[in-house]
Amino acid sequence: MRLTFHGAAGRVTGSCHLVECGGRTLLLDCGLVQGGPEEEQLNRAPFPVDPGELDAVVLSHAHIDHSGRIPMLMRQGYTGKVYAQQATTGLCEIMLKDAGYLQEKDAEVETRKRERKGLAPVDPLYTVHDAERALRQFHSLRYEEVHEILPGIRVRFRDAGHILGSAIVELWLSEGDTTRKLVFSGDLGQPSTPILRDPALIREADAVLLESTYGDRQHRSREDTLEEMREIFAVARAGRGNILVPAFAVGRTQEMLYVFNQHFSDWGLEHWRICLDSPMAIQATELYARHVELHDEETVALRERGANPLAERLEFIRTPQQSRALNRVRSGLLIIAASGMCQGGRIRHHLKNNVWRKDCHVIMVGFQAQGTIGRKLVDGNAYIHLWGEAIRVAAQVHTVGGFSAHADQRGLVEWYRGFENAPPVWLVHGEDEPRVRLAARLTALGRGEVSIPVAGEQIELGKLPARCGAGTPPGL
């Protein structure tokens, strides 16, 4: 009974861990590595187990850095199921097909470049067709229900409050008389995130894998963040330029729509033409609106009063023609577009058309991984490169950290303190600095041992002390 760290050990993308139990193998997440070209080469590396031999995939949530390599598994012979929360399945339908399309396009461009140099063509990582095939192998589970997915392996999803359908994964692994409970935090949301419920607290585990994206910092308070936004809009209005908000199509976009709607008059948004320019974000927004059973109390109350907090007073920009028409508008636009780290999607066109103007404002509301265009903007680079062209950054770039979909250091520590039996914890899904800082805080609690694993490292789960009562999952 063993866990091997494969991806997202020392980085925030490419989440993937291998679990072996009673001769079965299971992948916990199967995400794409995102970042610059060098990082993305890692996606072509072999899986930790032959996909033809793999028995199951358990997916924490739909974000591509957790789900984006799943179609590659099918392409390489995986025939088993992918267990995911219901809304995660719905979101993956949107996101994996889009990812397949982007992979095809990237391979086409790369092949053309290589042909001119007399080199062989490149294959896409996967295609839209592979993504569609992969979706047929998804099996949806609800929160709070225990399911035996393989002999001796039981799983339960709990709400992680990060994006719609996001789950903390509880796994009970049994081999002979030995049972151990592994808890994988997935990505944990911030308490009080709009639309979503707060992350569930788990009382018991024998081993915990904890994300650490923001393990080294505290987010600004919600009130300060909203005030910061109000000030940015006031300054931007005086300058009369356009405002760009790069946002992940799933999660951040819906949160932005919600807060824009909530603070519409306070922030003077009636002076802006608000455009959601991302077909994928539009689809995801419609899915968020449909899954009313997953909404928090505040959102339910708004809906009961007849409000539609995700679709009021904004334009959905669907076609490329509509999107291109925005290029001619010099002032008064507030464009929300994907991708969140500016590596793809329509936001790049808007950056190209606006970022060299000093009256333009760019509001960065999400995490920016190393090597991405978004990170270059946040770091204050004087130029960014788009389609091989150097573009001067004259725009005012604002980094508003308080909207993060991830818990900050305090949130992570508080979530861990919810465990009553002081389980050992392994920090994943974070760069090294945040992991070291979070480890210091967790160690200071004087509870479970804290480790910072590297890729390839293993935990012999069966050899860990049993801490969970009789070790059996509830209801069985």
| Binding region for Zn ion (CB under 5 A) | 63, 187
Closer to Zn ion by Cβ: residue 4 or 404:
404
Question: Could you tell me the two tokens for 294?
Answer: 């997953």
Closer to Zn ion by Cβ: residue 25 or 212:
212
Query: What SS3 string covers 179-247?
Result: EEEEEECCCCCCCCCCCECCCCCCCCCCEEEEECCCCCCCCCCHHHHHHHHHHHHHHHHHHCCCEEEEC
CA atoms of 133 and 116, how far apart (whole Å):
33
DSSP-based three-state secondary structure for 138: strand
Question: Could you tell me the two tokens for 359?
Answer: 């009256």
CA atoms of 169 and 209, how far apart (whole Å):
10
Closer to Zn ion by Cβ: residue 35 or 448:
35
Q: Distances from the Cα of 275 to the Cαs of 106, 111, 332, 465, in angstroms?
A: 27, 34, 11, 54
CA atoms of 139 and 59, how far apart (whole Å):
10
Closer to Zn ion by Cβ: residue 187 or 277:
187
Q: Minimum Å distance from CB 60 to Zn ion? A: 8
Q: Minimum Å distance from CB 87 to Zn ion? A: 13
CA atoms of 160 and 118, how far apart (whole Å):
49
Q: Minimum Å distance from CB 311 to Zn ion? A: 24
Query: How do 383-386 and 389-392 pair as beta strands?
Result: antiparallel
DSSP 461: G
CA 412 to chain centre: 16
CA 154 to chain centre: 25
Q: Minimum Å distance from CB 303 to Zn ion? A: 25
Q: Minimum Å distance from CB 187 to Zn ion? A: 4
Q: Minimum Å distance from CB 123 to Zn ion? A: 27
Closer to Zn ion by Cβ: residue 63 or 361:
63
Closer to Zn ion by Cβ: residue 93 or 227:
93
Dihedral of CA atoms 264, 160, 24, 27 in degrees, nearest 10, equals 40
Q: Minimum Å distance from CB 213 to Zn ion? A: 8
Closer to Zn ion by Cβ: residue 63 or 75:
63
Closer to Zn ion by Cβ: residue 17 or 63:
63
| Under 8 Å between Cβ of 281 and 336 | yes
Q: Minimum Å distance from CB 65 to Zn ion? A: 7
Q: Minimum Å distance from CB 143 to Zn ion? A: 17
Closer to Zn ion by Cβ: residue 187 or 228:
187
Q: Distances from the Cα of 291 to the Cαs of 87, 196, 283, in angstroms?
A: 7, 11, 13
